[in-house]
Structure 1
Amino acid sequence: MKKDYLKKLAALSVAAAMVFSMAACGNTGTGNNAGNASESSSAAAENTSKKDNKKLTKITFCLDGTPNTNHTGLYVAQQLGYYEQEGLDVQIVQPPEDGAALMCSAGQAQFAIAAQDTMAASLDSDAPLNITAVAAVLQHNTSGIMSRKGDGIDTPAGMTGKTYSTWESPIELATLETVVNEDGGDFSKVKLIPNDITDEPAALAAHQTDAIWVFYGWGGINAKQENTDCDFFFFKDINPVFDYYTPVIIANNTFLQEHPDIAKKFLEATQKGYEYAIQNPVDAANMLLAGDNTGSLKGSEELVQASQQYISDQYIADAAKWGFIDADRWNAFYSWLAENNLTSTDLTGKGFTNDYLGN
C-alpha cells in the first residue's frame, strides 16, 4: 500500500507533464480528453447487464495499486450485495501504468482511488484532469516517518544528520523540510538516498536507511508483525496543515454531471461497505482477502487482519459520517502548496465535493 501510493508522490512532475502533453494533443474548446470522457462515461452508465432478471448499471472502479485495507469497504459492498441492491454491477480493476486518475479522467473508470496531494498536479493545469474527489476513505492522514527504535528520530528534528530514503517528490521534500526545521532541526543536513525499499522493517533492521515515509496502517503495523521495534511520528501531529485527505475516492466529472443519481447510489452502497468494516473488521478483512484477484495478499493474511483492526477505526474517526471532506482542512493544504510555490495556481476550494454523499 505505502509503496504504491508514494510512488505517485515521486511522479508529480511527470504527471503534470503528461497533463500538458494530453492537452497539446487534444482538440480546442473542451478538449479531446473531455470529449472522450463524456462518451466513455455515458456509455458505461448506459451499458447494463442482466443478473437475476434485474438490469444492473455497470460501474468500473480503478484502485491505486494492489488491494489493501484502504479498499476493504469496496470489497465488502461488492460481496454483500450492497451494489447490486442499488442496481449496480461494480467491477474493481487495477490501475494502468499512467495511473488511476488518468483512467478516471478519460472515462474508462467512473470512480477511482487517489489522494489530495497527488491530485494537485492533476488540477494545477490549463487543462486539468476531469476528476473530483467525492469521498474521503480515511478521515485523517495516517502517514509519517518510521525509524529504528532509539535512534532519536521520534521527532522530526532527530532526522538531522540521518539518512532518509526519498522518492524525490517536491511535495514530499517540502513537507519534510517544513516539519524538520519547525521542530528545530536542519533539513539541509539530512542525507537523501533513493528509495527502492520493499520491506520497510527489514530495511531499517539492516541499516539500509534511517528513516522512511510510511502509512502507519500498513508499514507501522507490518513492523509490529515482524517484531521490529520502531519509532514513528505522524505528520498531522507536527503541523495540522499536513492533515490532508489520503486516500480519497475520485469520480469522472462528466459522469457526475450526467448521472448524479447513479453516483449517489454508488457512494451509498460504498458507505455501507465501510460501515460494515468498522463494525466487523475480521469478517471485512476476510472479504478483502477473498476478493483479491491479484494474489498480492497471499501469505499476508495476518498482516491484513492486524491492519484492518487499526484502519477500521480510521474510516470515520471523529467525523459525523464516512466520506465527509472538511473544506477547511482541504483548503489549508492547497493554500500551503500555493504559498510554497508547489503549484502555479492556488487550488483552494477546488477538486472536491460532498454533494454525492448520503446521510
Structure 2
Amino acid sequence: MQKLGVAAALSLVLTGCGSENPDAQASDTTSVTLMLDYTPNTNHTGFYVAQHNGYYEAEGLDVEIIEPGDNATTSMVAAGKADFGVSYQEDVTYALTSEDPLPIKTIAAIVQHNTSGFVALESMGIDSVKDFEGKTYAGWGAPSEEAVIHAVMNEAGADFDKLTIVGADGSGIAGLSDTTGPNKVNLGWEFYGWAVIQAQQAGYKVKYIPLSELDERLDYYTPVIIANDETLENDPEMVKKFMAATKKGYEYAIEHPQEAAKILHEDALPDTDLSFLEASQQYLSAEYARDAKSWGLMKDSVWNNYTDFMYECGLIDHKIEARDQYTNAFVQ
C-alpha cells in the first residue's frame, strides 16, 4: 500500500510538471465529421486518399468518416449531427423546397455527370426505353424514381402503365431475369462505375442505358458534398481547409487511379476484390472532373435543368434558384 501511495504521488508530480511543458499543450487540430451517403465505394475515394496521405492533417483537421445508418445524411447535416455529408442534387432540391426548408447548401460536385442508368440482362432484349413495356422494374422507392421512369417512357412513346414496379430486394444485377412473369425482375437502376462494372467482372452480359442520354436534364450532379448553413457562415476557414484537402485527394485519384484504389482497399474495403476496385476507380477517375475546369465546380444550368424537371413532374411545388442550392466558393 505504501508503494502504491508513493507511485501515485509521483505520478501527480510528473503530471503537474508536464502541464507546464510548452511541448505538451493541447493540440490545435480541429475534429471534423463527414457522413457518407452509403457504405464506402469509389465515389468516396478522394476522402480516403486525403485522410491516408495526410492532406487533412496538414490542414489541421482530424476527419472522422462515418456511414449514415438509418438516418438520411441530408437531414443529419441539416441538424448539425455531421459537419459535412455526401448527398445528391435531387435530395438537396427536395430539402430546400420543402414546407420547412433545411439549412444546407452544396459545396462541391463529386462527379461531374450522372453516371447512373437503367440496366437489364442482354438476353432480355431491352434495347431502348420503349422496351420497358411488359417488364418488371425493381427500385428503392424514392419519389423521383417513378417520375423519372414515367418521363423517359413518355418521351419515348412508351406506356408507363405497362411497366410493373416492385421493391428491390438488394440482389441488384444478380437478381435480374431474362424472362417475364410473377417474381421475375427485368430492370434496375444502377451506377455504372460500381454495380455494372462489378457485374461485368462476374461474367454478366448486361445492357446499360445511361440516364444522361435519355434527357439532358437528367445529367445532374450525383453525388455532391453538402454542409450546414451555420457551418458555412460561422466557420468558413475550416470549410476551406476541409475542401482544399478533399480536392487534393480527388485530384490525386484522378492522376493515380490504381494507387487510389489501393488506398480505398487498404483503409475502407479490405474485403472487396482489389481488381474490381481498380477497374471501378479507373472509370470514375476519368469522370470526377470531366468537362470541368477543375474538380468540384458546378454550373447554374445543371441545377436549373433538374429543378425544372422536378417541378414539371410535380416532385416540388415551386422552383428555387441555382444560387440558393450551391456555391463554388470553396472549390475555386
Taking the aligned partners of 1:338 and 1:89, their CA distance within structure 2 comes to: 40
Instruction: State the partner residue of 2:174.
Output: 202
Contact 1:332 1:348 in 2 (8 A): no
For 1:182, the equivalent position in structure 2 comes to 155
Structure 2 counterparts to residues 41-52 of structure 1, below 5 A: none
Partner of 1:231: 207
Counterpart for residue 227 of structure 2: 251
Tell me by how many angstroms 1:150 deviates: 3.8
For residues 288-316 of structure 1, the C-alpha deviation after alignment (integer angstroms, 9 at most, x for no partner) is: 12221xxx651433322221111111100
1:169 aligned partner, one-letter code: A
Equivalence for 1:42: none
**More off after superposition, 347-356 vs 253-262:** 347-356
Residue of 288, 304, 316 corresponding to 1:343: 316
Larger radius of gyration: 2
Q: Give the AA of the match of 2:67.
A: Q
Q: How does 1:28-177 map to 2 (within 5 A)?
A: 55-177=28-150
Tell me, yes or no, if the aligned pair for 1:335 and 1:347 is still in contact at 8 Å: no
Q: Could you tell me which of 315, 328, 331 is aligned with 1:354?
A: 328
Per-residue deviation, residues 34-65 of structure 1 (Å, max 9, x unmatched): xxxxxxxxxxxxxxxx9998521111111111
1:74 partner SS: helix
Residue-pair matches, total: 305
Superimposed CA distance per residue, residues 52-82 of structure 1 (whole angstroms, 9 cap, x where no aligned partner): 9852111111111111000000000001011
SS at structure 1 position matched to 2:293: coil
The 1:260–1:298 alpha-carbon spacing in structure 2 relative to 1, beyond 3 Å, is: same
- How far has the Cα of 1:108 moved from its partner? 2.0
Cα distance, 1:265 vs. partner?
A: 1.4
Which runs of no fewer than 5 residues in structure 1 stay unpaired? 1-49
1:128-166: CA deviation from partner (whole Å, max 9, x where unpaired): 112111000000001110001042323111111111112
- Paired residue for 1:286? 262
Taking a change above 3 Å as real, the CA distance of residues 273 and 157 of structure 1, as seen in their structure-2 partners, is same
Residue pair 1:56, 1:87 contacting (<8 A) in 2 also: yes
Match of 2:282 in 1: 309
Partner SS for 2:176: helix
In 2, distance between residues paired with 1:189 and 1:131?
A: 39
Taking structure 1 as the reference length, the TM-score comes to: 0.81
Consecutive unaligned residues of structure 2, counting only runs of 5 or more, are 1-22
| Alpha-carbon distance, 1:204 to partner | 1.9
Check the 8 A contact 1:335/1:348 in 2, yes or no.
Answer: no
Q: Give the TM-score of the pair, scaled to structure 2.
A: 0.87
Answering whether residue 303 of structure 2 is matched by residue 330 of structure 1, we say yes
Measured after TM superposition, the shift of residue 87 of structure 1 is 1.5
The reply to whether residue 191 of structure 1 matches residue 164 of structure 2 is yes
Identity %: 39
Residue 104 of structure 1, CA deviation: 1.0
